[in-house]
Amino acid sequence: MRRVVITGLGALTPIGEDVDSFWEALKSGKSGAAPITKFNTEKFKAKFACELKNFNALDFFDRKEVRKYDPFSQYALVSSDQAILDAEIDFETIDRTRAGVIWGSGNGGIQTFQDQMKEFCEGDGTPRFTPYFIPRILVDIASGIISIKHGLQGVNFCPVSACATSNTALIEAFNYIKWDKADLIISGGSEAAINEASMGGFASARALSTKNDSPETASMPFDVERDGFVMGEGAGALIVEEYEHALKRGAKIYAEIVGGGMAADAYHLTGTHPEGEGAVLGMREAMREAGLGPDDIDYINMHATSTPLGDKSELIAAERVFGSDSKVTISATKSMTGHLLGAAGAIEAIACVKILQHDFIPATINTKNIEPDFADLFDFPIGIEGRSKTVNYAMSNTFGFGGHIASLIVKKYKGKNER
């Protein structure tokens, strides 16, 4: 079976707009939550989110390009360019028919859709839509734009599995390379959903935290006082590559992808199964493919969005998979980044890669009182201080509305002589 490695990283997040600053913020326990600046929140239940702090599209695109691309596509291009640069890829020297893009988003161009419909409804009924309206809103357009920019003619598509989307994209990239259908794939996800429609919709579903008096502490996964997730935005990009292909071009290798598990709760439109049925299946399948047992996993980046039911069901699932005397360390980086929806899996996979690289696990900030039935079952770094620990295998969980489950396992890379 062909081995699959990660050779480049790019990140555009609410706590750092490149990989190094993202990692430093994770280590220091920095919160990205603050009052929303993008629109007037006076009448909204949730008035805060984890926005990108310094992003200006005109720093990366000319005005004509800005008109073409919804923010989620802009984020995709910026983060994927970071990853390409990091991987030192010269597209002139590789087979572009064997290089592709598998990129996801949960909502696509929701900002464009909202803005254009608002303009139409407030007008005189004359349709004055931009000619870029349809391509801007298409959820698959980011993967197309990336491939067009770099002339990549290999596999190109967009999986959509709500908040499991970019983990699904990474698992698909892993599969296509493993199956010898590609040698190199740009994979990840992007999301730009901090707007009136998205915030209003998630609030109506009672999914968002309403701790408006203290945004920076509102995302508190596993805590008994958690009341919902904090919306985030941004993108994460990973260069996923066949091992020998990477060695041949002298690429640095960050980590190896060794397993991916996808499953379904088959239970509820928006809620996770109370016994974590799908999560159990996804984690077990990822470990089966990797040839690992529960004792082999050193760290799990939990989906843990800070919702009352979701966090508990994932803890139940983890106990079912890893047992009641597990030594696995778990944390939730969403306590800092907020929930990037379809982009969550990508930035959390990057966090796992950095954890493998540095043997350091960031804490789950804001969390003080862990669900009492689980507080003694796992190793929970909480507060601000992270923890040094040798991590050889890391798992990243993502779950999406509709019952979608995607679990990814990455392995520390120790050199070409180590299998």
Whether 150 is a known active-site residue: answer no
Residue 353 domain flag: yes
Q: Tell me, yes or no, whether 298 and 223 share the same domain.
A: no
Mean pLDDT, the chain, as a whole number? Answer: 96
Residue 324 domain flag: yes
- In the block, residue with structure tokens 């944390």: 331
Q: Using one digit for the tens of pLDDT, what is the confidence trace for 68-94? A: 999 999 999 999 999 999 999 999 999
Domain boundary among 218, 248, 278: 248
Q: Using one digit for the tens of pLDDT, what is the confidence trace for 271-296? A: 999 999 999 999 999 999 999 999 99
Q: Tell me, yes or no, whether 128 and 156 share the same domain.
A: yes
Q: Catalytic pick from 50, 245, 273, 339?
A: 339
State how far the Cα of 278 lies from the Cα of 264, in Å rounded to an integer: 5
Domain boundary among 187, 220, 248: 248
State how far the Cα of 224 lies from the Cα of 220, in Å rounded to an integer: 9
Mean pLDDT of 126-135: 95
Whether 245 is a known active-site residue: answer no
Residue 253 domain flag: no
Mean pLDDT of 405-418: 89
Q: Which position has the higher pLDDT, 416 or 204?
A: 204
Q: Which residues of 249-286 are buried (b: 16+ CB within 10 A; e: fewer)?
A: bebebbbbbbbbbbbbbeeeebbbbeebbbbbbbbbbb
CB atoms within 10 A of CB 160: 21
CATH code of the domain covering residue 110: 3.40.47.10
Cβ pair 392, 412 in contact under 8 A: yes
Q: How confident is the model at residue 417 (pLDDT cuts 50, 70, 90)?
A: low
Q: Which position has the higher pLDDT, 347 or 326?
A: 347
Q: Tell me, yes or no, whether 228 and 316 share the same domain.
A: no
Q: Which position has the higher pLDDT, 419 or 42?
A: 42
State how far the Cα of 94 lies from the Cα of 260, in Å rounded to an integer: 27
How far is residue 167 from each of residues 6, 35, 42, 156, 361, measured CA to CA in Å?
14, 29, 35, 16, 20
DSSP letter at 291 equals: T
Q: How confident is the model at residue 325 (pLDDT cuts 50, 70, 90)?
A: confident
Residue 255 domain flag: no
* Coil, strand or helix at 114: helix
Whether 358 is a known active-site residue: answer no
Q: Tell me, yes or no, whether 71 and 116 share the same domain.
A: yes
Polymer length of the chain = 419
Q: Tell me, yes or no, whether 240 and 98 share the same domain.
A: yes
Residue 317 domain flag: yes
Q: Catalytic pick from 163, 245, 273, 404?
A: 163
Q: Tell me, yes or no, whether 99 and 223 share the same domain.
A: yes
Q: Tell me, yes or no, whether 29 and 164 share the same domain.
A: yes
Cβ-proximal residues to 338 (8 Å cutoff; 6+ apart), any chain: 14, 32, 33, 49, 50, 219, 229, 230, 231, 232
Q: Tell me, yes or no, whether 244 and 266 share the same domain.
A: no
Q: Tell me, yes or no, whether 397 and 317 share the same domain.
A: yes
Cβ-proximal residues to 229 (8 Å cutoff; 6+ apart), any chain: 207, 208, 209, 219, 305, 306, 307, 334, 338, 339
Q: Which two tokens stand for residue 15?
A: 């706590």
Cβ-proximal residues to 201 (8 Å cutoff; 6+ apart), any chain: none
Mean pLDDT of 330-347: 98
Residue 417 domain flag: no
> Could you tell me the residue range of the domain that residue 16 belongs to?
4-248
Residue 126 domain flag: yes
Residue 108's nearest CA partner among 71, 81, 83 is 71
Q: Which position has the higher pLDDT, 415 or 114?
A: 114
> At residue 419, does pLDDT exceed 80?
no
Domain boundary among 248, 271, 287: 248
Phi, psi of 396 (to 5 degrees): -125, 125
Q: Tell me, yes or no, whether 324 and 348 share the same domain.
A: yes
Q: Tell me, yes or no, whether 313 and 240 share the same domain.
A: no
Domain count, the chain: 2
Q: Tell me, yes or no, whether 169 and 58 share the same domain.
A: yes
Q: Catalytic pick from 50, 158, 273, 303?
A: 303
Q: What is the pLDDT of residue 385?
A: 87
Q: Using one digit for the tens of pLDDT, what is the confidence trace for 148-197? A: 999 999 999 999 999 999 999 999 999 999 999 999 999 999 999 999 99
pTM of the model: 0.97
Residue 96: exposure state from Cβ atoms within 10 A (0-12, 13-18, ≥19): middle
Q: What is the pLDDT of residue 418?
A: 61
Torsion sign across C-alpha atoms 161, 164, 168, 169: positive
Residue 362 domain flag: yes
Q: What is the pLDDT of residue 70?
A: 98
Phi, psi of 275 (to 5 degrees): -100, 10
